[in-house]
Amino acid sequence: MGYKVPFVDPRTHYRNYQSEIDAAIFDCLSKGDLIYRQQLRNFEERLAAFVGVKYAVGLSSGYHALLFALMGASIGPGDEVITVAHTFVATVSAIIHCGAKPVLVDVASDFNIDPDLIEEAVTERTRALMVVHLNGRICDMARVTEIASKHNLVVIEDAAQSLGATFDGRRAGSFGAAGCFSFYPFKLLGGFGDGGALTTNDAGIARMASLLRFNGEDRDTGEYHHHGQTALLDNVQAAVLDAKLRHLPAWIEHRRTIAQRYRKRLACVGDLMLPHFSEEKQFDSFQNYVIRTRSRDALRAHLRDNGVETLVHWPKPMWEHRGLGLTNPGLPETESICREVISLPMSAETTFEQVDYTTEQVREFFSTLGPDRR
């Protein structure tokens, strides 16, 4: 179905930056630079500078960044890692795949880990705290780092959705032992397929990630140091991401303007809760614009029938996917979020007209509801 307002618009995105993207791809292909060449190093250097760390290691996905961060911090069997269930499944899968046990705690109303609940989840086996900066909003890193240092925990940041977001002026991915980013096409900085990166100030973790992505091989000596994986960021992807990175600050500004417009037009509509949380310390990069309502499914159907594409991140709690083998940790906020959230169109290409049409449709929906739901 063609939507009047698509959730994201990759074709327009490509057309808008076609000359730069084509030039980056042509540069790689015409020189035969496909694997681990200068374009990748350039991107890693610029990404590290953007995040504000010493090292960035290009990987084939955000999942690999999470896995290699854990492995680089020597987390493994017998260890517990505290994280959230309100996240993409890869966060938890990485913990399981390194042999550790995920300990799931609830989130607060800003969708990020509730710092008040972290300490009660700490046991003598807890080794790490994997915080997820969801939707372009960074966690309260003052509280997180304070709790982590009190209990001697390694902090790993799942920043897959928060490149460019800041806390106290520092960017996501620069606080913990490692930051993990995804360049999945619809992320703040998206490639043309899967991609990711690990950022760190720790030379040991950077080296470990560099080895693991080459099946454990040190490319300079040819020595295999570990059983690793095939997980390198492709050179062509890196070249495109490098070209796009310079536009990221402007794209984030655009997303913030779109968010303000949604806010203005959706304030006091029905039972809607809007994602405008305190920005005293945080600067949000709005990967997603997520609203909450008890009438989520009906609102979503109304928007779909009127040509507005939306997404739900995520419709059921992770532990209800029985194949994942997780026990129900009893997280009430996570459960109600799953019932109530809906993500509205948000991208660098989203126009004011699209926001206005979407918000008109939302308002129309609520005007037809009974008074108890308005």
Ligand X SMILES: Cc1ncc(COP(=O)(O)O)c(C=O)c1O
Nearer to ligand X, 172 or 243 (CB): 172
- Residue 70: name the closest of 47, 89, 97 by CA: 97
Using the rule CB under 6 A, is 153 a contact of ligand X? Answer: no
| 196: contact with ligand X by CB under 6 A | yes
Paired tokens of 220:
């300079």
Nearer to ligand X, 185 or 307 (CB): 185
Within 278-307, the residues that bind ligand X by CB under 6 A are none
DSSP string, 65-96: HHHHHHHHTT--TT-EEEEESSS-HHHHHHHH
Instruction: Output b/e per residue, 216-237; b: 16+ Cβ within 10 A.
Output: ebeeeeeeeeeebbebbbbbbb
Which residue of 50, 111, 175, 184 would you call a contact of ligand X, by CB under 6 A?
A: 184
CA dihedral 144, 106, 68, 287 (to 10 degrees): -90
For ligand X, the closer of residues 57 and 266 by Cβ is 57
Structural contact between residues 55 and 199, judged by C-beta atoms closer than 8 angstroms: yes
Taking the CA atoms of residue 202, residue 207, residue 208 and residue 213 in that order, the dihedral angle to the nearest 10 degrees is: 130
145 or 287: whose CB is closer to ligand X?
287
Helices 296-305 and 352-367 meet at what angle, rounded to 10? 120
- Determine if 160 is a binding residue for ligand X (CB under 6 A): yes
Site string for ligand X, 100-139 (x = CB under 6 A): --------------------------------x-------
Is residue 91 near ligand X by the rule CB under 6 A? yes
Cβ–Cβ under 8 Å, residues 144 and 168: no
Q: Tell me the window of 27-35, 44-52, 57-65, 272-280 that interacts with ligand X (CB under 6 A).
A: 57-65
The answer to the question of residue 90 lying near ligand X (CB under 6 A) is yes
Question: Could you give the CA distance from residue 85 to residue 106 in angstroms, rounded to a whole number?
Answer: 7
Q: Report the distance separating Cα 115 and Cα 96, nearest Å.
A: 23
Residue 359 as a binder of ligand X (CB under 6 A): the answer is no
CA 89/CA 107 separation, integer angstroms: 15
Residue number of the CB atom closest to ligand X: 62
| 61 near ligand X, judged by CB under 6 A | yes
From 21-29, 45-53, 154-162, 210-218, span contacting ligand X (CB under 6 A)? 154-162
Size of the site for ligand X (CB under 6 A): 15
Question: Is residue 358 close enough to count as binding ligand X by CB under 6 A?
Answer: no
Q: Name every residue whose Cβ is closer than 8 Å to that of residue 134 and which is 6 or more positions away in sequence.
A: 86, 87, 107, 111, 112, 161, 162, 287, 288
Cβ proximity to ligand X: between 111 and 214 the closer is 111
Which range of residues in 82-90, 163-171, 201-209, 328-336 is near ligand X by CB under 6 A?
A: 82-90
Regarding 319 and contact with ligand X (CB under 6 A), the answer is no
Rg (CA), the chain: 21
Q: Which of 88, 167, 175, 283 binds ligand X (CB under 6 A)?
A: 88
> Which of the stretches 41-49, 86-94, 325-333, 335-343 binds ligand X when contact is defined by CB under 6 A?
86-94
DSSP code per residue over 166-221: EETTEETTSSSSEEEEE--TTSSS--SS--EEEEES-HHHHHHHHHHTBTTB-TTT
Return the range that interacts with ligand X (CB under 6 A); candidates 100-108, 155-163, 169-177, 270-278.
155-163
Closest CB to ligand X among 63 and 366? 63
CB nearer to ligand X: pick between 128 and 362: 128
Contact residues for ligand X, defined by CB under 6 A: 61-63, 87-88, 90-91, 132, 158, 160-161, 182, 184, 194, 196
